[in-house]
Amino acid sequence: MADSPKWLKIVVAGFVTGTIMFALAGPGRDASPPRQATAASPKRLDIPSLNMKAPLMKLGLSGDGDVELPPFEKPAMAGWFDQSVVPGDTGASVIIGHVDTKTAPAVFYRLRDVKKGAVIKILRTDGKTAQYKVDSIEQVPKDHFPAERVYVEDGLRLVTCGGVFDRKTHEYLDNIIVYASRA
């Protein structure tokens, strides 16, 4: 997809967004974003085995329907997709972070090193801590992103870029995805 024309990337992005919205709504269900079970929101991600603590910001959808990304100007910050459930509630919760910037590693630089069974903690604004254990980690091509598994299935998902960096398009060709279940 690195050498694809811009229109093809737009079509693929539209397809992925449509797939996500269908997966969230399903046949015969309302396509509006899922309601949160609590008024809380996540405020910090902690992965002790990586010695990583990161503040979390809310991410929504951009004007063209893509999931927003944390700003490159804040490389130590990750973002919670606010149309996913609050970590600790039942459903899919998605946190996204950059692997690096033009000049330095970013918050999820070492995410590919997390091991099965590792503990992930999410501190919430209501004072509770949601705790998860890593089930698996995978590297997938961006054009084969497993939208239903990430945005619908129960559990915490940490998503970043990875694999080969395409210098022409200035983007990674793959995603690194960590799947975790409530502990």
CA nearest 82: which of 103, 102, 112, 59? 59
Write the DSSP symbol of residue 143: G
Split at pLDDT 50, 70, 90, the class of 161 is very high
Flag whether pLDDT at 175 surpasses 70.
Answer: yes
**Residue spans per domain, the chain:** 6-182
> CB-side exposure of 68: number of CA atoms within 13 Å?
17
For the domain spanning 6-182, the CATH number is 2.40.260.10
Q: What is the pLDDT of residues 30-70, one digit of tens each?
A: 444 444 456 899 999 999 999 999 999 999 999 988 899 99
% the chain with pLDDT above 70: 79
Given a contact cutoff of 8 angstroms between Cβ atoms, the answer to whether 142 and 1 are in contact is yes
**Whole-structure pTM value:** 0.80
